[in-house]
Each structure stands twice: as structure tokens, then as C-alpha cells.
Structure 1
Amino acid sequence: MKKLFFALFALTFLAIGNAQDGTPTDYLPKEFHKGRRDAFRSKMPQNSVAVVFANPIRNRANDVDYVFHQDPNFYYLTGYREPNAVLVIFSEDQTDANGNTYNEAIYVQERNPTAEMWNGKRLGKEGAKTQLGFVHAYNGADFLNSKIDFKKFDKVFIEKFKDDYRDLGGNADIFDLVKSFKKQSGYNPDSYLSRAKKYVYENVASTPIESSANVVQIINRVEGRFQDIKEDKLIKQYKEAKTDALRKEAKQKITLALKPQTNVDIDFLTGTLGGMREVKTAEELKLLTKAIRISAVGQIEVMKAMKPHMSETELQGIHEFVYKKYGAEYEGYPSIVGAGNNGCILHYIENNRTRVGHDLVLMDLGAEYRGYTADVTRTIPASGKFTKEQKAIYDIVYKAQEAGIKASVAGASFGAPGQAAREEINKGLLALGIIKSLDERHNYFPHGTSHYLGLDVHDPGTYQPLRANSVITVEPGIYIPDGSPCDKKWWGIAVRIEDDILITEKGPVNLSKEAPRTSSAIEKMMAQKSVLDEFVLPDLDKD
């Protein structure tokens, strides 16, 4: 009972401290992150170690850097939001020189008064202990001298390095930490096969020589997309072999090349954390739901404020103002606001059209709140009323989305929502005469319908049958760019409707339902008065 009292006292003291200095108090608790480390450790094979690095600081221009954003996997496991750090997780207890046991350690930025004067307070190793709950927390420089014998482990799990680390010239920045790990572990990037090459090699190794013609067909199909397959000497030797004996010789070399050349593994960590992050805990769902609701409110406020004279940039600003008003730290991804034909560009982020006029405006945006990212899209008429053609296309997409959401049930294949939506879109396009048959190949709906949502806007996951407490998007669309092979009256119409769907055992739950979706509900919302109607700034172009 006494231990429980002191634990509650400590949590209360921390919350009071955060409240007094004005910082948010609703981040995930340290117990969440420890629980995720423990869960990951339980999945590790014996005699293994995982090494996870923080994101690097990335340069914007000259001496200005981009706002730092933590690597989602690192944040998921630690809660640490600063750069220049590394986490080490062991599958079993280790013993230090003093006989103490430990199974994890975090190495963080050292406290530095001068650096903190310019760039803000650092947590430091003591903060990592008190605020993040680590028993074994050290300065980054200690990792450089840790003398961890990575070669004694059967497996060393890391994420694939992107090698975009700048040397900031200090001691124990991320450049130094990664360089030290590579040296200590004997990391050799040439030891790894690309996913495509591994796929081809495995087909060669598992297929009898008498069926090699089937493998050659696979090679022909894959090498058109991947240059490393086309240039691989062993694959070329196998493919061009004139006799079974020569082909068998090439197969033996390929089979040998499949065997691991190092104990450093770049697949397990990413795959395992992807499976864990797919299914959200109650704490995660609370934050993710708030991010989604903030984004839905942003859509509502823009519906009320929308006027034909506005620019795409102005509309983007209203969305993002709402995010900041609710305390969201960032946008989850570059905001997309595309009027008319611009909406046909799937990842249009220029947002530089100066007047949206009377076109449809496709708005795909999401707030990031305490690390969790929404992804909500609405398409609305700038004039406040859909034209006949706009409404016809919009209502097809709405019907397709309804079918996709209905198919979003636990146990269904990940592709089920997309298949249901695509069927409705094809039926609708056929009825309008835009396509000539249900099986006609067209580019009016060129993307998938769903992806996972969480710490990343495209969160990792298994893409296996849908599981309860995962969150996916359902986002069908129709895009008819200028010059399309159909009646000109459809040109420049782009519609996407995207909602964030919680998978439950009782059926799908639309977390972004606050933002109107039907054409009639949108028009009704757009008829309402906006608090921004009287917000008029001076004209800076007048003399």
C-alpha cells in the first residue's frame, strides 16, 4: 500500500510540475512505453539484442533545420522526443561489471547549459529516469564507450539505415552513435539482399530445375521493375544457363547467398513493431481519436468559411489554425488543398491557386496530436452548392465509401473495403457513360482505399485480415483530369472522401463522422455563418 501511495504521489507531482510550467500533461504515460518494450522483448528470440536510433536532425537551408520529429518506433518504445539518442533492448538479463542486472538501456543527449539556452531544455539522463521511467539511462557518449559485444549475440536487430545523418560536429550526435554501432557490430550493408532480390532468390532455391521455366517468367516480370535484379550476376547466370547442369550450378550459388552473412538483422525489428503498432491500446485510441476529431472540426470550419474568392493557401491556413487552437503540435503530413483540376493530383501540396472560384475543392489534411495523426478528406463546392455534374460524381464516391466502411469488419481481408468501393465506383461511372463496361481498365480511381493510421499517417501493419482496435482509412475517389476520354462536362472534377475507421468486434466505427459527408449535409453546413466572416485583413497591395 505504501509503494502504491508513493507511486501515485510521484505521478501527481509530475503532472503538477508539467501543469505549472505550462506544458501538456496528456502525453502517453511512461508505463505505456515500458509496456511496449516488455511486449517487444517477449517476441525476441533468445540471445538477441535490438538497437533503435532516434531520428536525425535534418537541414532545411543554410543554418536552419527542420523542426525535429522523432522516429515513431523510437517514440513508441521510449516516449523520448529529442534527437541524438539510442535504445538498446536485450532478450535476457545482462550483468554489468558491478554485478548488476539489466535488460535495457537508453542513451540520451547530455545536459548542456549553452545548447539549452539556444534550443531549449534537454531531458538528460536523470530526466530519462524520472520522467520516462528508465532505470538505466546514460549520456550518449557512454554508448560510444559501452563496449557492448554485439558479435556475441545470435541476432542484432536494427532498422535499415537510411544514412542521412549529418555530422553536427559535437560529441555523441546521431552521426557518432550510428558510426560507433556499425564499428562495434561489424555492420556491412553489402550483406543484405533487397526485398525483390530475396524474393527471386527464394523462388530459385525452392523450385526444382525441371520447373525452372516458371522461375524465369518470374525473373522477367520482376527485372522490369528493379534494376538490381536485372544487373545481378547470379540471376543472369541462372536465367541464361543453356543446360540443366549450368542452371543447377547457378541455383547452388543463389541458395548459398540466401544464408545470412551477418548476425545483424534488418527485418525483424520493423516487422515486429509493425504488427504491434497495428493494434492500438486504449491510451493510443484516446489520442488518435482526439487528433481525428480536431481534423473533422477543421473541415467543418472551412465548410462554413469557404468563399469562391479564397485561395487554396488561405483554406489550408484555416484548417491548420484549428489544429493549433486545439494544441496539435504539427500537421501529420503536408496538407492537400486542391481546387478543380488540382484535385486530380493525388499528392498535390503546392496549394498555390489564388482563387478557387466555383470548382470543387478537395481537402486532405490531418492534425498530429501528441504523436498520433489523423487523415480526413472532404470535397466541397466552393460556391456552397454542387452543380449537377459535381453532385453526380460526389454521390458515387459517397456510395462507394459507405460500401467500403460496411466491409471494414474484424476478420475481413485488408482489401475488402477497397474491393467493395471499387465495385460501386465502376457501376456509377458506367451509369454516367464515363466508362463503357464494368471491367474496363481506367485511371479514374488509381489508388487503394485503405491504410493503417497511428503514429504515422501510413502506419505500419501486417496488411493481413483486419483486427479489432486497429484504425484504417476508407478513402475512395474519382478523378477526371482535363483531357480525359469522356464528355468534357466531367473534366476537372475530383472527389475524394476519407474517414478514419476503428475496427471493432461489433463493427466499424467512424471516428471522423462529425465532418459532414453527404452532399446535402455539406451544403447545409456551408450555409452556416462562419466566425471568420468578419475577419478581414488590410490589403497590402494598395498604395
Structure 2
Amino acid sequence: MKSLKFLFILFITISLNYQAQTPTDFLSKEFHKERREFLRSKMPENSVTVVFANPLRNRANDVDYVFHQDPNFYYLTGYREPNGVLVLFSDNQTDEEGKSYNEILYVQERDERAEQWNGKRLGVEGAKQELGFKMAMNASEFLKSNIDFKSFDKVYIEKFNDDYRDLGGADVFNLVKNFKMKAGYDPSLYLSRVQEYVYNNIAETPIESSANVINIIDRLASRAPEINNDELIKGYKSATTDELKKEYQQKISLALKPKTNIDLTFLSANLTTMREVKTAAEVKLITKAVRISAVGQIEVMKAMKPHMSETELQGIHEFVYKKYGAEYEGYPSIVGAGNNGCILHYIENNQTKVGNDLVLMDLGAEYRGYTADVTRTIPANGKFTKEQKQIYDIVYDAQEAGIALYKIGAGMSAPNLAARKIVNEGLYKLGIIKSVDERHNYFPHGTSHHIGLDVHDPGNYRNFEENMIVTMEPGIYIPDGSPCDKKWWGIGIRIEDDILVTKNGPVNLSAEAPRTTEAIEKMMAKKSVLDDFLLPDLDK
């Protein structure tokens, strides 16, 4: 009896020690359950939502990329493995034993050999205990299930990308294939987003204003070839009388009506609204990710020297992330020296010496699924030149003006407009553009996007609401060969911070990383712990 008691205590001790050595600050199962319940509350009677996990993606030969879960699937389940399906019912269902349920999570099956090679799987029991699902099954059961999707008034899914490999068995490829067959999914019944946009414009616009719609069609035609091949759009556009236009308008109105019970818009629209406003638990994780990223910027400021490479600087950032326990980078890291900083999404990071140029560093840690997005631009030699400082201060002033507008109820386009005005005025004063109204490409992007489970988290972009976390990132980019004085060439500057919208005004979550030229130079003058970190020269 004593030996059994000893073994039980030993088992509990080992289990607790194992748990203590793995992260415990992921979102709780209660968070995910509440998110599912909120989504269910938006679903009409006799409807069902089906969400698929991400598949494994191949890197090369027999090596796969590190798995990353579909953000919406993770948001609703907390499941961090491939080959899963969530089925969420609006109404209670009854199984063969008379038990009531309103959701099922299908997970990849436990497999001793697979787990020996690739790590432990959660399995059915894990899904029940750790994720809180009362009804969990192996994914193979989804392939055999008798759910009659055609019997529901509405079946809500996201649009399929159909970019999965067929790995056999109950993988995402076969789970999606099986669902399509059972539900009668026919992609030809759906309009593209551009087609739907044009159709709605035609249906809702009075005939006497049809010229406005035709202008929209002409603007979109070069980017969306499906418009040029659409017989109804071509007929509407070429109609020579109002009567003929009305006929096409009526046909288009009919074409907008659903031809199937499978809906591709409800799920994305509702999850967008849910995810753009963060819960307290999400704010906590994002704040951690942002602060980790800010510390990375600080350590690089102290460590940077002209002889360093872009790759080495990237490595310092990402070492800091790992030191704090961040699982990944939230997106490919951008470290661009000189003219490379004028490439918005420069990710090669292969310049061997940054020299005396400015270095634009746009990086973000992903912590427990949530990503930061922080950018600083600093002089590799620790001192801004006169020209660099002049451009930098314009960007800084534009950012300050924008951040001040992150207030509850304010329009989300306001910061961008304010920043653009300051940038244009500043470029004009320096003689880089000829007038404040001149069209130019020195500031080619917007300033504000949501962050969260995605670095560009979904959002409706209407008005600021409490607990939104949105970037503020003006920039000026003057690549070599620009139509201005050569002294400005190769200057690329972006300052990006992550702003929490609160009742008391905007809170800059990444404020720890210096932003002013004076504060950056002061930080860069400090000693780095890496100053004495020397490795052997392998080329000698």
C-alpha cells in the first residue's frame, strides 16, 4: 500500500514539475469558451459554423515549416496543432445516447510513433481536460460523421484557399474535401469580392447615376480581370438606354441573392468585429509582446556598430525575444540599412556592413500567439546627420500628431490624415516637393492597423473603441534616384508604436524604446553587454 502511495506521489510530482517547465500564461480555456459563446449568440437558429485548423506546410523535401495555427481557429479553441475542425451549432444537438451538445472539436489522433518523432499530441482527452470541450473526437471521426450540413438553414465557413497538401488520412486536405462533399460546396456559386462590390454598387445606385458606377468599374478593371469577363457587368456598362440598364440591374440584384445555404461572409465579419477589440487577457499578452520588442530595440541601440551586418542586428533582436520566452517573430524581421530602408517590406537583411547609414528596424515578438509591431530608425554610428535629423523630426512630429487622435469615438482615418499633412508640409519646407499638394511616393502607406493574433489583425476601421490596439507608423522614404537633391537620397525613416486606446486617452505600449533623436543618441552611447562578445574568425 505504501509503495502505491509513493508511486502516486512520484507521478504527481513529475507531472507538476513538467508543467512548471512549460509556459502557463497562454489564454485560458474559459477565454476561448466565452469567445465561442459570443459567436454562437450571433448565429440564427438552425445554423452551424465550421472552422478548420491550419495544415502543416512544407519547407523543402521532408522538412516542414514550424507549425503556426490559423488565428481564428486558435481564437475559438486554443488548440495549437494541425488537422483539427471546430463545429459550432446554434442549437443543442443530441447524440445517439441522448446526450446534449452544441459544439464538437475534432483533433488529430494520439499516435505513439508520430509523437516519438514530432512531440506529444493533445488528443481527445487533452482537448477535454485542457481546452474544456465536453465533446471532442479524433479528426478521423469527422470523415465518418453523419452531420447533415444540407439540413441547416445556414452553414458558416471562411473562404477556402485550397493550398493544402494531401498527406493522407485525416489531414486538413481530406477534412476539407470531405466537408465540401457533404455540404454540397460549389465555388462557382460565389462572386469574388470585387465582383460582389461592383454588383452591390450597381444594385444600389439609381440609373441616373450609373456613370459613377461605370467610373468605379473602369478603375477596378485593370486590377480585377474577372470584371472584364463578367457578362452582366459588361452588359450593364455597354447598355445604351436606361431601360436596358434597368434590366441588367435587376439581373444583378437577383445574382446577389444566395444560391446555397453555405455563407462565406458571416464568420469573417463577426470574427473581425470580435477580434478588433481586445479583452483584458489579450491586452496583457500583447503588452508583454510589445515590451519584449521594445527591449530588443533598446539592446540593439546599445550594441550597434558600423561594422555589423543587417543579419547580426536581426539576430540580437530575435535573441532578446527568445530570452523572454517569445515563441516566434510575429512576421519576417525587417532590418534595412541606407537605401534598403526605403523598401517597405525588405526582409533579405543581408547587407554585410551597415556603415554610417540609418538602419530601419521593423520587428515584433510573438508571445503566446499575440504579436507586436515596433519600428525604430537609428544611425549606425550613433549620431544623426543634419539631413537625417531633419527628415526624422518630420516623421516624429507626424507620429505625435497622429497618436494624440487615438481617442474613443474618433474616426480611425484621422491619424493618417494628420500625419500626411505634417509630412507634406515638412517635405515642402525642405524643398523635396514643390508644393504641399504635390502627389509623391515618399509616404506610400497608411499609418494605422490593428495588431493581435495577426500583425495585421482584422478590423472594420470605423471609429476607435476602448481596448483596441492599433499601430501608428508614419514614414518618409527617399530612395536613390528620387527627383530631389542627392543629399536626401537613401534616407528611409519609419517610427512605429503600438497604441492602446483607453478611456483616459492613448497609451503607447512601446514607449520604452527611445523615439526622439536625442533619446536615441543617448541610448546608443551606452555600453552594451555584447561589446565583449567576440566569436572566432572562421575565415582565417
TM-score range, shorter chain: over 0.9
Match of 1:323 in 2: 321
Distance in 2 separating the partners of 1:41 and 1:498: 36
1:495 counterpart (493, 500, 503): 493
Q: CA deviation at 1:271?
A: 1.0
Equivalent residue letter for 2:90: S
Distance in 1 separating the partners of 2:53 and 2:396: 41
**Conservation of the 8 A alpha-carbon contact between 1:18 and 1:25:** no
Q: CA deviation at 1:204?
A: 2.0
Match of 2:109 in 1: 110
- Superposition pairs of residues 445-524 of structure 1, within 5 angstroms: 445-524=443-522
Distance in 2 separating the partners of 1:283 and 1:343: 35
Q: CA deviation at 1:18?
A: 6.8
- Superposition pairs of residues 106-255 of structure 1, within 5 angstroms: 106-169=105-168, 171-255=169-253
Deviations 1:142-181 (A, max 9, x none): 1111111111111111111000111112x21111110111
Match of 1:525 in 2: 523
Match of 1:25 in 2: 24
Match of 1:366 in 2: 364
- Superposition pairs of residues 426-445 of structure 1, within 5 angstroms: 426-445=424-443
Distance in 1 separating the partners of 2:266 and 2:523: 48
* Equivalent position SS for 1:103: strand
Deviates more, 1:95-104 or 1:52-61: 95-104
Match of 1:95 in 2: 94
Distance in 2 separating the partners of 1:143 and 1:214: 49
Q: CA deviation at 1:523?
A: 0.3
**Conservation of the 8 A alpha-carbon contact between 1:15 and 1:25:** no
Match of 1:292 in 2: 290
Q: CA deviation at 1:95?
A: 1.5
Distance in 2 separating the partners of 1:197 and 1:20: 51
1:422 counterpart (420, 423, 447): 420
* Equivalent position SS for 1:364: strand
Match of 1:66 in 2: 65
Deviations 1:89-144 (A, max 9, x none): 11111122222111111000000001000100000000000000000000001111
Deviations 1:72-101 (A, max 9, x none): 000000000000000011111112222211
* Equivalent position SS for 1:514: coil
Q: Gaps spanning 5+ residues in structure 2: where?
A: 1-11
Q: Would the alpha carbon gap of residues 160 and 474 (structure 1) be closer, same or farther in structure 2, given more than 3 Å must change? A: same
Equivalent residue letter for 1:224: S
Distance in 2 separating the partners of 1:17 and 1:267: 44
Distance in 2 separating the partners of 1:75 and 1:29: 12
Deviations 1:194-253 (A, max 9, x none): 121112112222334444333323322222321111111111112112334433332232
Match of 1:47 in 2: 46
Q: Gaps spanning 5+ residues in structure 1: where?
A: 1-12
Q: CA deviation at 1:429?
A: 1.0
* Equivalent position SS for 2:505: coil
TM-score normalised per structure 2: 0.96
Q: Percent identity?
A: 74
* Equivalent position SS for 2:131: coil
Distance in 2 separating the partners of 1:243 and 1:510: 57
Distance in 2 separating the partners of 1:175 and 1:283: 33
Match of 1:4 in 2: none
Deviates more, 1:150-159 or 1:288-297: 150-159
Q: CA deviation at 1:332?
A: 0.2
Deviations 1:367-412 (A, max 9, x none): 0000000000000000000011111111111111110111111111
TM-score normalised per structure 1: 0.95
Q: CA deviation at 1:541?
A: 0.8
Distance in 1 separating the partners of 2:393 and 2:437: 21
**Conservation of the 8 A alpha-carbon contact between 1:19 and 1:25:** no
Match of 1:34 in 2: 33
Match of 2:6 in 1: none
Distance in 2 separating the partners of 1:317 and 1:143: 43
Distance in 1 separating the partners of 2:28 and 2:210: 55
Q: Would the alpha carbon gap of residues 14 and 31 (structure 1) be closer, same or farther in structure 2, given more than 3 Å must change? A: farther
* Equivalent position SS for 1:276: helix
Is the counterpart of residue 79 in structure 1 residue 75 in structure 2? no
